[in-house]
Every structure is written in C-alpha cells, then in structure tokens.
Structure 1
C-alpha cells in the first residue's frame, strides 16, 4: 500500500446501485436484490414508483423504507434526478432557474423534502443539480437565481445534518467542477454544500482525466456516481462499453478517504437492471484497490 493511501488510511470503497436503473422493480424487490448481490447501499431516487415525495403519508412510508434498509444492512443516499416528478410534460422541470418564482419555489420545496427524507433515512448525502438555463436567460441572472434558490435548501441541509451534494451535469448551467466552485463562492461557501461527482461526466467534458477530477474534487466530495462514458457524448453506459480507464479512478477514490457510496448510475437500462446490477458489482470489486472480491 502506498504512503499516500496509508494516510489517513483508506477504507474499502462502498458501492451502491441507483434505483433509477431499477424502475421495473418494486422498491422492496430492488432493495432485496441489491442486498443479495452484496451491495453496500443504494442510491434512492425519489419518484412516483420508488418513495414518491409528493404522495400522502411520506413520513410513514419513509419509516418503512428506513426499517427495511436496516434489515438488509444497506446504507443510502437520496437522489433527486426523477425526470417528471414535478411536471408530467417537462423533463426535470420546473428547475431552480425558471423565470416564474412559483416554479422555482416548487423545485426548492422538493429539495427540502428530499433533505428531510434523507435525514429520516439516515442517508449520507442528498443529491441535486442546477437545471438548464431557460431560453433568453442571461448567465448572470441564471447564476443569481441558482444561488438564491439553493440557500434555503443548504440551510435545511445544515439543520438536518445531511450534506447537500450538487452534481455538475452536461448541458446544465452547473456543468463542470469550475462551475461548482463558482456556485460555492457565490453562496459564501456554506459548510453543507458539497459535490456529487459523476465519473462518466468527467470523461464526457472535463479537461482532465476522471482520476484527476477525483483528486481535485476530494475536499468537497459528498457523493459519487459511476458508469462508463465516451468523450463528448453524454450517454451512461455499462462498464466496458465506454472509454474510461477505471483502475486509476478507483485508486484515486480510495486515496481520498471518501466514505460515502459510489453508486452505479444507469438510468436508461432498467430493462436489464437486475443483470447489470450483478455484472457491475463484479466489475468494480475485481478492480477495487481496497475492496473484497465479488460475493
């Protein structure tokens, strides 16, 4: 083991699988599958088929999920990338950047609900993203809206003791690591604001390698998503179908001391979700610099 990884002493990477890639399964069946396969946890996307954040009885339903996670020995992170949870006609709409303040407030309320749900589940982070700037919106206005609308969410996260992890997303206002630092500075560097790093997105559009992105992001890393991807093409691919060299990425993650979940993110592959969950974990465990062999 190298000296850099001996200080402070890396733990084995902890893997999860995103429920947005298991939408053909009931949530309880998805959780049981992941536990049986040997996953450490789950990236739980709040959506109509899996812990609907807008349906009645959320607190009771959340308590049942928390109990089930405990029975199965799974940890959890809460993700908020459901495509049509707020508006059945607008993908990821409304967003924090919309011109209508009521629309922005709807997204903000959803994120605060996600924070509270994450706290009730004992999640290690709650994920979010900026959204795309609406047509005709100048960049300065978009950035001001994003900082303004995220402040109460960050405050709720601080109160709940759950880190808020915003994800650079290709095509969104906040698309890169540099954009994350712009937002962090605009908000006054709140302690609760961290980063979701999607390894595929690093391959897609960052100027440095995914492993270098991990090292650069380490101080703010609160959540990690992982899949294969090709340069310049925002398409989440199963491992081995893209261009990413994964051993340096996993080595870099282990060296950071990151203790959260590294969640496989294949939202367009639910038709093959159970098999991809199996093969994905086998792939990662075989390469993990500190991990155990697949079960």
Structure 2
C-alpha cells in the first residue's frame, strides 16, 4: 500500500482558495486539508451553499480529496485567538455552531472527516467542569454529524484541555464510544507533547485514526516546522501509519509558511515521498510501491 498526502490551506493564506487548490494539485498532492476561515470558504459569509458547491466542483476537477479543519484563529473573535471554544466560560454555543457549519460543509464536499479540538481551559476551572463542557459540546456536534453522515476527528492539541491521544480516548469513553467520533493525530504534536513515540500514538489510536497532520517539531515546543528542522523521525512516523493500514489523508500542517507556500509545499512532498520510500524499504517492500 502507499499513503495519500495532502496539504493544508492554512499554509496558503496569501493565495485565493482556487489558486491554492490548483497549486496543491499541480504539485501532485492527493488531497487538501481545508480550513474554513475568512480567506477560504468563510463559514459565515453570504451564499455559503453556492460557494461550497463551487469548491466541491473544483475539488472534483482537480481530483483532490478533502478533510475539513476548523482551527481558524480569529473566525469567531477578532480579538482573542481560538475563542470562544468548547471549554470557554461563555460563548461555547458559538463554537458548536461553527463546528456544525463545518460538518454541513464537509457533507456537501464529500469530506473524509471534520477535525476539531477542545480549546484551552480558563484559569480557575477544574477538570470535572472541563469534561462537562467538552462532552456537552461534542455531543451536540455529533448529533449534526449523525444527521449528515459525517465522521468527526478530535485532535489533541498541546496546551489545550484535551492534549493527548489518551485524552481523546477518554472523551470517547465519556460519550459512550460513539462510532462517528474518531482521532486526528499531528505527528509533530507527539514529539512536542506526548510521552510515547509517534508509532506508540498511532497504535494507541488504531482503527480510530481518521485524520493525520504531518510536520516537524522539537520536544516541548509547539511550533510547526518544515521536515528536517525538528526531531520527528519521518520515515518511522510514516512506517507506523503504513503498518496500521491507515487510508486517510496525511496532510502537511505548516500554517506559518504562507509567504513561500508553493516552494514549501514542493519541498514537503519530496520529503514525504522520500520518507515513505525509506519506510517501505524497511518493511521489505519495493520502492516502486511508494509511488503507485
């Protein structure tokens, strides 16, 4: 088997969405991680349905698969990054509304998953209340996902209330292990925040893994870096995904590299393909399988 690589539109913030999709496809990527935000398919702008249909048509023309990302920094509040979120003191219903909009957009586009996270717990709020808030919000999003036949993928984020794969599994347990709630894994986050290796986290998520983000990081620092600038063992990470038979997109997540997006995207795909070839060779497969 071989992996399917994508690129995140949050790394193309200086491009029009149509141009970003064309570049990503032109470089040879299999798909795109589309962050719904004011530069790209604004979820609160006018004529959302018509704009979504147009994007879907363009994705089909370019042969790009898609996952929906919801990590836009200021889409809900121009003053406060990532606020309100699922564990905020107030305004949590606005985050739920955004996520439900993302689910509907994902359903219209035929997306493979809609990815989201918990947010950062406010000072003075205990863990019990944090769990109450996040489970309530996710339950509401899952109701919309059930109506729209969509998969939700919850991402553990360093510094947020749910920050590890184990935390996502705990969330699923508290909600009764719903089939539609699965896992997003950022391989860089593993180095920055988890105690185990990427392979450990991939195996921990197992068949629940529905969305993967790929980037480099260094231990203890949540900063998205190009491959080779951090401590991620990329062949080992991709090898773990191959071993568990992961079939979703593995999309590059470099939101601060938009100033050189086409060049960075080209370098990133070359690094991914080389690392995949190494992983396959280590598994005893021929190199031609990596490009099939």
- Give 1:225 shift: 0.2
The alignment status of 1:127 with 2:126, answered yes or no, reads: no
Q: Secondary structure at the residue paired with 1:291?
A: helix
Q: Is the 8 A contact 1:158 1:191 kept in 2?
A: no
Q: Secondary structure at the residue paired with 2:291?
A: coil
Q: Please name the residue that 2:209 is paired with.
A: 221
Q: Please name the residue that 1:52 is paired with.
A: 42
Q: Please name the residue that 1:80 is paired with.
A: 70
Q: Is the 8 A contact 2:198 2:240 kept in 1?
A: no
- Give 1:285 shift: 0.8
Q: Please name the residue that 1:291 is paired with.
A: 290
The alignment status of 1:141 with 2:129, answered yes or no, reads: yes
Q: Please name the residue that 2:236 is paired with.
A: 248
| CA–CA separation in structure 2 for the residues paired with 1:177 and 1:65 | 32
Q: Please name the residue that 1:8 is paired with.
A: none
- Give 1:234 shift: 0.7
| CA–CA separation in structure 2 for the residues paired with 1:86 and 1:264 | 24
User: Structure 1, residues 137-163: CA drift from partner, whole Å, max 9, x if none?
Assistant: 111101111001110101211222211
Q: Is the 8 A contact 1:155 1:192 kept in 2?
A: no
User: Structure 1, residues 190-227: CA drift from partner, whole Å, max 9, x if none?
Assistant: 11100000000011111111122112212210100010
Q: What are the residue-to-residue correspondences of 1:10-159 with 2, within 5 Å?
A: 11-100=1-90, 103-159=91-147
- Give 1:244 shift: 1.1
| CA–CA separation in structure 2 for the residues paired with 1:99 and 1:215 | 34
Task: Give the alignment's TM-score, normalised by structure 2.
Answer: 0.94
Give unpaired runs (5+ residues) of structure 1. 1-10
| CA–CA separation in structure 1 for the residues paired with 2:189 and 2:210 | 16
Q: Please name the residue that 1:260 is paired with.
A: 248
User: Structure 1, residues 49-73: CA drift from partner, whole Å, max 9, x if none?
Assistant: 0000001111000000000000000
User: Structure 1, residues 241-286: CA drift from partner, whole Å, max 9, x if none?
Assistant: 0011111111110121211110000011111111010000011011
| CA–CA separation in structure 1 for the residues paired with 2:145 and 2:125 | 28
* Range that drifts further, 284-293 or 130-139: 284-293
Give unpaired runs (5+ residues) of structure 2. 281-288
Q: How many residue pairs align between the two structures?
A: 281
User: Structure 1, residues 148-188: CA drift from partner, whole Å, max 9, x if none?
Assistant: 11101012112222110010000000000111111111111
